[in-house]
Structure formats: C-alpha cells, structure tokens
Amino acid sequence: MFYVYILWSSKSKNFYFGYTDNLKERINEHTKGLVKSTKPQRPWRLVFYAAFETKKLAKDFERYLKTGSGKAFAYKRFLNSEVLKKNC
C-alpha cells in the first residue's frame, strides 16, 4: 500500500502534504526532525491519510493536493484549519 498524508504544524500553523509506502515510519521521521524540509516546523500532527494500491495513484493524488484546487478541495473536504488553529 501507498499513503498520502497531511500533517499539521502547531508551530507554523501550516499543513504539509506527502506520500510514502510506510506511513508509521515516515510520520516518526517527521516527528523526530529527520526530514530536512519539515524539521523547523515541529511538532507535527497527522490530520489525514488515505491508502492507495499503487505508487502512481498515491503520487498523482499528492501532486493534486499540492495544487491550488487540490488545497481548496482538501480544506473543504478533509481539513478545518480554524478548528486546528484553536486546538493546537
């Protein structure tokens, strides 16, 4: 299985979109600061993930979520940033 995930940084108040074939390990890497691009914004919280049967489907969905319309879709369907900002 391949996973697309969204993390929330309570420090920077930003979302991070990614994909992996090992969700648990990848989240641990983000949490421990082993990912250069996300280290400064720790701590991270997993707020969404979806599983896909193929790497191509996961990469395509991640790429879509990083576009303007994909972010709008994610905010409307998966995320409520106002609630996250108040609770983090």
pLDDT (tens digit per residue) in 29-63: 999 999 999 999 999 999 999 999 999 999 999 99
Alpha-carbon distance 31 to 25, whole Å? 10
pLDDT, position 78: 83
DSSP result, 10-78: TTTTEEEEEEES-HHHHHHHHHHT-STTTGGG--EEEEEEEEESSHHHHHHHHHHHTSHHHHHHHHHHT
Does the pLDDT of residue 88 top 60, yes or no? no
Q: Are 52 and 58 in contact (CB under 8 A)?
A: yes
Does the pLDDT of residue 18 top 90, yes or no? yes
3-state secondary structure of 84: helix
pLDDT, position 81: 56
Does the pLDDT of residue 7 top 90, yes or no? yes
What is this structure's pTM?
0.88
pLDDT, position 3: 98
Fold of the 2-87 domain: GIY-YIG endonuclease (3.40.1440)
